[in-house]
Amino acid sequence: MSLAFDILLAFGVVFTAAAALGTHDRVASIAGFVVTGLLVALSLVRLGAPDVALAEAAIGAGLTGALLLRSAWRLKPAESRVSPAIDRIIVALIAVCLSGALAWAVYTAPGAALYPALVSERLAESGVTNPVTAVLLNFRAWDTLLEIAVLFVALILVRIVAPAHPQPVVLGELMLPFARIVVPMCAFLAGHLLWQGASVPGGAFQAGAILAGGLLVLMLGGFAVLTPRLLSWGMMVALLGLAVFAVAALSTEALTGTLLLYPDGAAKIWILMIEAVLTLSIAAMLCLLFCGMPRRPLNDV
C-alpha cells in the first residue's frame, strides 16, 4: 500500500517538475514549481525527514515561489530563440546519462553510516532531544553561524543592487479579514515551531520563514509601508541574529575554551536564546530579501 503511494508521489514530483520546466508561460511555470515543492515536502516526510519537509514547504515552495512571481513581472522574457534540434537532442542525451549515472552511483554507494551512532551517543549532552536541532545548534553550530552570515551577505548584495521594492496595489475588501486571521496565525505558529523544535520537528528556520510569510501579508496588503525608518529597524533586526550568534560563540570560547561548546547543563537555555533571536532575524532577512530596498538619494546619507 505504502509502496503504491511512494510510486505515485515520485511520479507526481517528476511530472509536475517536467510540466513546470516544459511550459513557456512563466506564471504557469512558477505555479508548477510551487506544486512540485509541496509534493517534494510530502516525499521528504516519507523519507523520514519532517524537519527538512517543513523548511521545504515554507521556504522552498512558499517564499521562493513568491520571489519568482515578484520577478516575473519585472523581468522581460528573453527573445524566444529555440535552440537547434540537434543541440536539444545532445543535451537531452547528456541529461539522461547524468540522471542514470547519479541514480546508479547513489544506489550502489556503500552505506557506511558513521553519524547516527555518534549523534545518539551524545544526544543527552546536547540539551535538546530532536537530533536535527542538536546537530544544527550544538554539534555543528559553526555551520549554522556561517549560514546566517551567508544570508546576511545576500541581503547586503540585494541592498547594493537595490531593485525597486514592490508597490502594493489596492486589494479587495476581503484582504483585511484575511490578514486578521492569517497574520496572528503565522505569529502563533512561528512561536509554536520554535518552542517545539527542541524535542520534535521544528526550529528557528521554519519558524522564521512562517513569520516572514506573515510579515509579507502585512507589506503586500498595504498595512505596513516600508518607510526608511522601518527599513533601518528591519536591517538592525536582520543584523541582530548574526551579532548575537557571534557574541554567543565568543562567550562560549571564553567560558569553556572551545568555540560553541556550551557550558555543562546550560546547553538548552543557550540554544533556545540563540534560536529565538535567529527566528526574528531570519524573518526580517527573508522579508527584506523579498521587498528589496529602495535606493536612498545620495544627499540623504
Partner 1 sequence: MTSELIYICAGSGLVGLAFYRLATCRDMLLRVLSLNVLAVGIAILFLASARNAGMTDAVPQAFILTGIVVLVAVTAALLALAEQIDSQRDE
Among 1, 86, 107, 181, binds partner 1 (CB under 8 A): 107
Instruction: Decide: is 165 part of the binding site for partner 1 (CB under 8 A).
Output: no
Instruction: Decide: is 250 part of the binding site for partner 1 (CB under 8 A).
Output: no
CB of 144 to partner 1, least distance (A): 7
162 φ/ψ angles, rounded to the nearest 5 degrees:
50, 70
Cβ distance to partner 1 smaller for residue 179 or 288: 288
38 φ/ψ angles, rounded to the nearest 5 degrees:
-70, -40
Among 179, 186, 197, 205, binds partner 1 (CB under 8 A): 205
CB of 222 to partner 1, least distance (A): 22
Among 1, 86, 109, 225, binds partner 1 (CB under 8 A): 109
CB of 211 to partner 1, least distance (A): 14
Answer for the pair 9, 43: CB distance below 8 angstroms, yes or no. yes
CB of 188 to partner 1, least distance (A): 22
Instruction: Decide: is 196 part of the binding site for partner 1 (CB under 8 A).
Output: no
| Cell representation of residue 260 | 560553541
Using the rule CB under 8 A, give the single segment among 165-173, 235-243, 245-253, 288-296 that binds partner 1.
Answer: 288-296
Cβ distance to partner 1 smaller for residue 128 or 272: 128
CB of 10 to partner 1, least distance (A): 4
| Cell representation of residue 124 | 543527552
Number of residues that bind partner 1 (CB under 8 A): 92
Instruction: Decide: is 115 part of the binding site for partner 1 (CB under 8 A).
Output: yes
Cβ distance to partner 1 smaller for residue 87 or 253: 87
Give the C-alpha separation, 28 to 39, whole Å.
17
Cβ distance to partner 1 smaller for residue 29 or 251: 29
Instruction: Decide: is 185 part of the binding site for partner 1 (CB under 8 A).
Output: no
List the interface residues with partner 1, window 2-61 (CB under 8 A): 2-3, 6-7, 10-11, 13-14, 17-18, 20-21, 26, 29-30, 33, 36-37, 40, 43-44, 46-49, 51-52, 55-56, 59-60
List the interface residues with partner 1, window 122-161 (CB under 8 A): 131-132, 134-136, 140, 143-144, 147, 150-151, 153-155, 157-158, 161
Give the C-alpha separation, 275 to 39, whole Å.
28
Among 28, 88, 200, 233, binds partner 1 (CB under 8 A): 88
Cell 526574528 -> residue: 280
